[in-house]
């Protein structure tokens, strides 16, 4: 047996683990550096290739866009912008996150940590893009809300967040009135240590609040790119001011001039509780607020804006930030095809189903009852199917027969690999890749869920 490696304490051991986990993304940074060398030096003079793009395609079948992406990753995330080494602050992100972060403003990138998932980073990107659709003239014409005119930017942001998230206000109200110190407010506003709130202030535009338990609060004015920094004491001071009354709901109603919204009744069948996102997106009906001094009719406020063709096409994004090649109608067609295939499979007699059953295969109704109605009685003549609105890919695959699972895996892997251009096959041997692949959340048809508030 090979001699075990001895480490001088936890920190040295952790560094060794980090080196292994970051090896893949560092390989991408190194690849970008090597392609720069091919671009900027005469190393290719005896190769028969005219430039780096010809070389990359002829030897590795990397097209010009993939070469450009490797180089841009190196430009932005390597030490000094021209190095084979990844900058220390980007250790732990992974290539897919870094590729997505290429499309974000620098003011946003510097606030992100590896704790944010690709889905959460994608949500931040969508918030930025949503604000870009609104012109400066539209913002000016909105006018500011009367009750926010005398507030500072942090106060305006918190005022709007608590208006959009009344239950969060109630939790904050109880915490501020029954505890003392910023630590407890941090547990409410950033329960997992990191949190990003996106909110839209009428007459100003979108504001991003970056909260971290060990740092000051960063306020980012999306339209101008300006940043302001506030302490947690600043936030606590404002929260204390708006919780002077004992009754949280009554205080909220007096502050916003409307009835406190009632909680929606919980349906009898609920999917398993999902992990709370670290990104809180701005309410959609605040994307284009009414002008100051006007009050839209109830019938208008209850109706969401009809999406434009551009918005429809933007709703489906790759995890690396590039548009999907499949259109919305094509997706619906594919979803319908999957449903039809499932219906065909349910007609297979039980005798044939039993013959193809893999010993030890997960049974949805026994192993994952939370995804099934309490009165669901699956007879022995019917195969199982996913009943919950959301599940992981692993659960979805275990709920269908072998033929459907095989067809689904082929398509899912093709889409996944196409979404990661230039990825070496070594990535497919990594445990982290497959864990993330199987734990990705999908709907009842197996389609990936990009982001859920």
pLDDT digits (tens, 9 = 90+) for 390-427: 688 888 888 888 888 888 888 888 777 766 655 556 66
C-beta separation of 310 from 220 below 8 A:
no
Q: Which of 14-23, 247-256, 264-273 has the lowest mean pLDDT?
A: 264-273
Return d(Cα 31, Cα 73) in angstroms, integer.
10
At 415, which helix (H) or strand (E)?
helix 402-418
Q: In terms of Cα–Cα distance, which of 73, 62, 78 is closest to 97?
A: 73
pLDDT (average), residues 360-364? 52
The pLDDT of residue 134 is: 92
pTM of the predicted protein model: 0.56
In terms of residues, how long is the chain? 453
Higher pLDDT pick, 387 / 142? 142
pLDDT (average), residues 137-147? 92
pLDDT 10s digits, 209-224: 999 888 899 999 999 9
Q: Which of 13-17, 72-76, 279-283, 312-316 has the lowest mean pLDDT?
A: 312-316
C-beta separation of 161 from 199 below 8 A:
yes
The pLDDT of residue 340 is: 47
Q: Which of 13-22, 112-121, 181-190, 260-269 has the lowest mean pLDDT?
A: 13-22
Return d(Cα 388, Cα 162) in angstroms, integer.
31
Alpha helices in 44-152 (DSSP H): 52-60, 64-77, 95-101, 106-109, 118-132, 136-142
C-beta separation of 73 from 29 below 8 A:
yes
Please report where in the chains the tokens 């190095």 appear, as a residue: 83
Q: In terms of Cα–Cα distance, which of 104, 38, 54, 43 is closest to 76?
A: 104
**Cα–Cα distances in Å, from 143 out to 140, 162, 167?**
6, 20, 27
C-beta separation of 324 from 317 below 8 A:
yes
Return d(Cα 75, Cα 71) in angstroms, integer.
6
The pLDDT of residue 81 is: 92
pLDDT (average), residues 79-88? 91
Sign of the four-CA dihedral 182, 187, 189, 195: positive
Q: Which of 151-165, 305-319, 349-363 has the highest mean pLDDT?
A: 151-165
The pLDDT of residue 51 is: 93
Question: What average pLDDT is seen over the chain?
Answer: 76
Q: Which of 153-162, 216-225, 367-376 has the lowest mean pLDDT?
A: 367-376
Q: Which of 179-193, 278-292, 406-420, 433-447 has the highest mean pLDDT?
A: 179-193
Task: With a cut of 90, say whether residue 238 has pLDDT above it.
Answer: yes
pLDDT 10s digits, 34-66: 999 999 998 888 888 999 999 999 988 889 998
**Cα–Cα distances in Å, from 39 out to 45, 156, 230?**
11, 49, 45
271 pLDDT band (50/70/90 cuts)?
low
329 pLDDT band (50/70/90 cuts)?
very low
Concatenated DSSP letters for 142-167?
H---GGGTTS-HHHHHHHHHHHH-HH
Task: With a cut of 80, say whether residue 304 has pLDDT above it.
Answer: no
Beta bridge pairs of residue 207: 199, 221
Query: Is residue 384 left, alpha or beta, with left meaning phi > 0 and alpha meaning psi from -120 to 50?
Result: beta
């Amino acid at each position: 047996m090979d001699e075990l490696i001895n480490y001088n304490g936890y920190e040295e051991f952790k560094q060794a683990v980090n080196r292994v986990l970051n090896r893949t993304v560092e390989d991408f940074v190194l690849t970008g550096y090597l392609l720069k060398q091919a671009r900027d030096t005469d190393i290719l003079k005896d190769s028969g290739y005219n430039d780096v793009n010809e070389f990359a395609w002829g030897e590795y079948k990397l097209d010009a866009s993939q070469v450009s992406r490797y180089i841009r990753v190196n430009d932005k995330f390597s030490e000094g912008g021209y190095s084979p080494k990844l900058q220390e602050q980007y250790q732990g992100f992974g290539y897919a996150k870094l590729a997505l972060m290429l499309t974000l403003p620098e003011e946003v990138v510097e606030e992100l940590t590896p704790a944010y998932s690709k889905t959460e980073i994608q949500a931040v990107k969508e918030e930025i893009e949503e604000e870009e659709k609104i012109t400066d003239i539209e913002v000016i014409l909105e006018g500011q809300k009367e009750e926010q005119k005398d507030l500072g930017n942090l106060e305006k942001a918190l005022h709007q967040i608590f208006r959009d998230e009344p239950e969060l206000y109630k939790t904050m109200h109880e915490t501020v009135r029954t505890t003392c110190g910023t630590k407890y407010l941090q547990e409410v506003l950033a329960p997992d240590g990191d949190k990003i709130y996106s909110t839209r202030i009428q007459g100003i535009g979108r504001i991003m609040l970056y909260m971290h338990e060990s740092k000051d609060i960063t306020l980012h004015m999306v339209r101008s790119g300006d940043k302001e920094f506030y302490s947690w004491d600043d936030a606590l001071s404002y929260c204390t001011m708006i919780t002077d009354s004992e009754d949280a709901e009554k205080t909220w109603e007096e502050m916003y001039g409307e009835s406190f919204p009632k909680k929606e009744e919980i349906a009898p069948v609920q999917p398993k509780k999902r992990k709370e996102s670290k990104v809180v997106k701005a309410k959609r009906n605040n994307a284009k607020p009414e002008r100051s001094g006007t009050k839209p009719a109830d019938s208008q406020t209850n109706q969401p804006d009809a999406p434009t063709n551009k918005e429809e096409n933007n709703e489906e994004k790759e995890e690396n930030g590039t548009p999907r090649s499949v259109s919305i109608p094509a997706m619906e067609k594919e979803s319908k095809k999957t449903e039809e295939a499932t219906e065909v499979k349910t007609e297979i007699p039980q005798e044939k189903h039993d013959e193809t059953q893999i010993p030890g295969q997960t049974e949805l109704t026994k192993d994952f009852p939370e995804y099934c109605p309490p009165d669901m009685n699956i007879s022995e003549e019917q195969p199982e199917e996913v009943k919950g609105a959301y599940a992981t890919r692993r659960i979805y695959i275990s709920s269908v027969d072998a033929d459907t699972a095989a067809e689904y895996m082929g398509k899912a892997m093709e889409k996944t690999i196409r979404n990661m251009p230039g990825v070496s096959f070594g990535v497919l041997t990594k445990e982290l890749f497959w864990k993330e692949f199987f734990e990705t959340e999908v709907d009842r048809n197996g389609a990936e869920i990009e982001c859920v508030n």
